[in-house]
Structure 1
């Protein structure tokens, strides 16, 4: 049975207030709105019904549970703090509201299983068909880190496109025109974990559009592949080789771990950062400030992304919200020593 404490968490009041309202304490002074909210939460969690009918049904037992499904592997989560912190944010906020989390493995999850949960959180780029199928069985669907998902679902994402433009604006102010981009590819997956089709990362698209708008389309240089240091190292080597005597004066990297590969490739070729090539990145991992030189990057509050996702789930479960919301978590540009003003020739 749902506990008084669980109802209090979801209703945003003290357990004592819940107890007195549910026991019809006439001496209790509480606003009609608060009383209604407590009763609504209790009813949604089958508080009285469960008490009268005995043991909870499987469906009732999942009222305070959230299923988490992610496209990325555990290895990538360990290697990339962006995903690890999203997961930590989810766990922290779920603990605040007494939600039970269950992470389901791709290939082992069924739609029938997802129908039982209070809400479903997906992390990453699932196919449109997969999200539509999940939504049919559980409309408390929160989509995290998928800029391309339908707006009929609750969406939580970063402002990567805006910040890419801001980074390019800053580099332009520093007289950079030969700006290259090294990023990753996004492949959508289904519930079986099978890759379906390729999507362009919003940072890649924003870079290409910005360069074109600013009359720099002839300077566009894009290298995309997997999100690893090894790929970034090889991509940088290819970029330097293909550039000949016209090296880019700046490289934008889609993630800090990839920037480590970029740094290594440039250092092995005795190309100085930032004297010859400036580097700007995304993530602001802890190591970024200790790299040599310290890495200019976009700070992303990944922890807050996870927490917001759970708050949206809470509103769906306890408040009965039906209207889909799109939440953009703002990030912040951090300028360090890996960028310098370029001398225009």
Structure 2
């Protein structure tokens, strides 16, 4: 049977299955008093018609709903800061937060429909790669989306929240240059990630302005993870002309580089200066404490939550992209190159 291009209703599915609307409702609600063959038929037609339960009306008892905060990687120090900001902002208006981990392939039409059925009012996706098909599924389900630190944006009208990544990359590199370093490497995240591109361009802009050449092999990509720092940091330090300073695209990566340096008998910051990015708890707990670019992660989570709630309420927003200011925080992992064991 051809699928109606308009949004399907319970009556549409019931007519296709030759059953009552009440029977379709029972299937949706997981009731047991439906014959297995009928249940299977109705479930198949719900998928065929791309049925999405209507969102709760304002004023309903369930209207407050919940907001889904989704990650596509395991929860880490960066994630917890985002979650705390979103939870705090939600608590101010009595809205709950559900945290989930979904890889890109898990985001399907069924995923969008299930979110609506579970009472979600909007989705906040963190450092997620969203495809046009996934965006369309959310749109059909009338679920607003806000992306934090997006890896890609297939449409320019997708609402996103980030920080001044270019300015942060510029400040981190200028700090190292001011200490006399010229052999400065950058170890970042995925090559296609918008936030990584901005940090890398800030690094390159500072190097070019100072007349410091970027040595071949000094710019490397990763996934902003600790193991990236250990592995790619080792590769950088084993180069014939090793860097005297490394700007890492995340605090986790920076700590991995510190471990790679220690395995080679190098001291931080006497032999190698390192700057991270994020200013999570691990930066302050490092040994030595990490010089890093503070990204206002809690504030970003809060802004994303408030924006998602505005979109869910049908309000218009002033801008599809919001950037919050970054700030360089100097601690013990950087020092003048004249102190380094490797000649500058």
Distance, in Å, in 2 between the alignment partners of 1:217 and 1:283 is 26
Give the CA deviation at 1:105: 5.4
CA change 1:128–1:95 in 2 (3 A) is same
Give the CA deviation at 1:286: 2.5
Distance, in Å, in 1 between the alignment partners of 2:136 and 2:195 is 18
Distance, in Å, in 1 between the alignment partners of 2:173 and 2:84 is 31
Pick one of 122, 127, 135 that aligns with 2:125: 122
Distance, in Å, in 2 between the alignment partners of 1:311 and 1:249 is 43
TM-score by length of 2: 0.69
Pick one of 193, 198, 204 that aligns with 1:202: 198
Counterpart in 2 of 1:298?
293
Answer whether contact 1:185 1:199 (CA < 8 A) is retained. no
Bigger shift: residues 246-255 or 137-146: 137-146
CA change 1:151–1:182 in 2 (3 A) is same
CA change 1:333–1:268 in 2 (3 A) is same
Counterpart in 2 of 1:237?
234
SS of the aligned residue for 2:219 comes to: strand
CA change 1:176–1:105 in 2 (3 A) is closer
Matched, 1:160 2:160: no
Give the CA deviation at 1:241: 1.5
Counterpart in 2 of 1:175?
180
CA change 1:105–1:183 in 2 (3 A) is closer
Counterpart in 2 of 1:325?
320
Return the structure number with greater relative CO, CA threshold 8 A, min gap 6: 1
Distance, in Å, in 1 between the alignment partners of 2:304 and 2:244 is 39
SS of the aligned residue for 1:328 comes to: strand
Give the CA deviation at 1:115: 5.2
Give the CA deviation at 1:104: 5.2
CA change 1:104–1:289 in 2 (3 A) is closer
Taking the TM superposition and a 5 Å limit, the aligned residue runs for 1:1-345 are 45-47=57-59, 61=62, 63-73=63-73, 76-77=74-75, 80-103=76-99, 106=102, 107=106, 109-114=110-115, 117-129=120-132, 130-138=134-142, 140-146=144-150, 148-149=152-153, 150-185=155-190, 201-212=197-208, 214-220=210-216, 221-242=218-239, 244=240, 246-318=241-313, 320-321=315-316, 324-343=319-338
Answer whether contact 1:70 1:123 (CA < 8 A) is retained. yes
Deviations 1:67-103 (A, max 9, x none): 4252423xx31xx211111112212211211123344
Aligned residues: 275
Counterpart in 1 of 2:35?
none
Answer whether contact 1:301 1:329 (CA < 8 A) is retained. yes
Give the CA deviation at 1:301: 2.1
Distance, in Å, in 1 between the alignment partners of 2:70 and 2:113 is 18
Give the CA deviation at 1:339: 1.2
CA change 1:105–1:333 in 2 (3 A) is closer
Instruction: Extract unaligned runs of 5+ from structure 1.
Output: 1-43, 51-55, 189-197
RMSD between aligned residues: 3.0
SS of the aligned residue for 2:72 comes to: coil
TM-score by length of 1: 0.69
Counterpart in 1 of 2:24?
none
SS of the aligned residue for 2:150 comes to: coil
Distance, in Å, in 1 between the alignment partners of 2:308 and 2:228 is 36
